[in-house]
Chains A and B, each alone.
Chain A
Amino acid sequence: MTHLASLFVLLLMTAPVYGQASFRTADGHPDLQGIWTSASVVPLERPASLKGKEFYTEQEAAENAKRVLGMSSWERLGSQAPEHYNMSQYGLDLSQAKVASTLRTSLIVGPEGRVPPLTPEAQKRIAERAARNRGHQFDGPENRPLQERCLIYSSEGPPMLPSAYNSNLQIVQDADHVVVLQEMIHSARIIPTDGSPHLAQSVRQWYGDSRGHWEGDTLVVDTTNFTDKTAFRGSTANLHLIERFRRIDKDTIVYEFTAEDPATWTRPWTAQIQLVRIEGPLFEFACHEGNQGVANTLSGARAAENVSK
């Protein structure tokens, strides 16, 4: 009887915790675990036609989603690539993915809704880099973009952005870590949440060094220690990112990042993306496995040079 009574008391004590089981881990932290997609019908930057309008009405948002999902992949991506394979035939079109409903008119928040102007220093730096590359894009593998070389995908981050397809990620937690696994193209970012400090400034990493902590129900991740190899929209190795993850219901995490780099932008800027829960699993995207793109691109360039000789 005593046993039964203690069991009853135990149940009473734990009931509130179990009541929020889908939102809390056994450690009591918000539970962000699951498989999510960042696919979005909203562009990063607000179109000029929507200047000053940060939010749609519900009806406008529905119309926008219908319009965007009704486009061909090429209209949506803003570039014509008639040589490309048919995106929808291979299950890669946005209309074939799950997307969040949002009233936002751009992922970037605030009245401008656009990446702030580049500083004069950044303009010069970016122009010089472009000048160095000009005419050398096809010299060898090292001249090809990181994404084409399967080193890092432009959208996997940090900061994370929707990709043209397979915008899928998985979050796993234990008491002292949060891991963000990106399907494209393979990174597993391990974020300590144990209060440990950033690595020494001399240690530089392609994904930076991320450290997390909990502020109420929000996971706040601070990332520094980038290299100069992975410029995010022209940023330097001193890019400082603050990301926030907040689960607002069973199927949604609001993900927000603020990018700060005084050598690149005239002010910090913030974007917000809704992550929607999807059924798994993630699939391995071992990008090097059959990456013939680099070799074919370079051999194509050599063939073109031979014709021109």
Chain B
Amino acid sequence: MRTKLMSLAVFAGLILSVAPAGAHHSFAAEFDINRPLKLRGTVTTMEWVNPHSWIHIDVKGADGKVVSWMVEGGSPNALLRLGFNKSALPPGSEVVVEGFQARDGSNRAVGQSVSFADGRKLFLGGTAEGAHGDTDKNDK
């Protein structure tokens, strides 16, 4: 495990040494590639905060118990430029989150891809002024 942590550290160092950096922080350090997850839940709130937005969802398990999760997303700036605002994701919206769980095992995840229940991707459908390409090429 020590080796794994070390290689993680080296990886984080590499990411941070290239310019431009991929993001404000290393997602590899925060989320665990070995803990992929797919959550279907109901939005309770969306935090439009910097440096990253957080979507809070309630997920009902097979046993009927409801578990709350926090999902990390992109910065609000770009979402505003895409034409979205605080009412874009009202409480009660059903969403499907694909991503990875936090390394500390808490109920936090990166929302690598977030969709509405009918499959439509959240936030897609707009590009910034003068933009060029499609908006979905990074999908897996």
- A residues sitting closer than 8 Å to B (CB atoms) are 44, 65, 69-74, 77-79, 81-93, 95-99, 130, 133-135, 137-138, 145, 147-148, 150, 153-155, 161-166, 183, 185, 233, 276, 278-279, 283-294, 296-297, 299-305, 307-308
B9:A138 contact, CB within 8 angstroms: yes
Q: Which chain B residue lies CB-closest to A82?
A: B33
A290:B132 contact, CB within 8 angstroms: no
Q: How far apart are the CA atoms of A134 and B6 in the complex, in Å?
A: 9
Residue among A130, A163, A294, A300 with the highest chain B CB neighbour number at 10 A: A300
Q: Which chain A residue lies CB-closest to B115?
A: A89
Q: Which residue of A65, A145, A289, A301 contacts B50 across the interface (Cβ within 8 Å)?
A: A289
Q: Which chain A residue lies CB-closest to B81?
A: A91
Q: How far apart are the CA atoms of A69 and B41 in the complex, in Å?
A: 34
CB 8 Å contact bits of B44-81 with A (1 = contact, 0 = none): 00010111111000000000000000001111111111
Q: How far apart are the CA atoms of A273 and B83 in the complex, in Å?
A: 28
Mark out the residues of chain B between 77 and 120 whose CB falls within 8 Å of any chain A CB in the assembled complex: 77-82, 99-100, 102-106, 108, 110-114
A90:B75 contact, CB within 8 angstroms: yes
Q: Please give, as numbers and ranges, the residues of chain B lying within 8 Å of A85 by CB-CB distance.
A: 27, 72-74, 99, 110-113
Q: Which 9 A-B pairs have the closest CB atoms?
A: A90-B74, A300-B103, A308-B1, A290-B49, A98-B130, A95-B133, A91-B78, A293-B25, A299-B104
Q: Which residue of B8, B22, B53, B128 contacts A164 across the interface (Cβ within 8 Å)?
A: B22
Q: Which residue of A164, A233, A288 contacts B20 across the interface (Cβ within 8 Å)?
A: A164
The secondary-structure label for the interface of chain A is loop
B21:A147 contact, CB within 8 angstroms: yes
A98:B129 contact, CB within 8 angstroms: yes
Q: Please give, as numbers and ranges, the residues of chain B lying within 8 Å of A307 by CB-CB distance.
A: 1
A88:B112 contact, CB within 8 angstroms: no
B16:A96 contact, CB within 8 angstroms: no
Q: Please give, as numbers and ranges, the residues of chain A lying within 8 Å of B73 by CB-CB distance.
A: 85, 90
B138:A86 contact, CB within 8 angstroms: yes
Q: Please give, as numbers and ranges, the residues of chain A lying within 8 Å of B114 by CB-CB distance.
A: 89
Q: Please give, as numbers and ranges, the residues of chain A lying within 8 Å of B47 by CB-CB distance.
A: 290
Q: Which residue of B121, B126, B130 contacts A278 across the interface (Cβ within 8 Å)?
A: B130
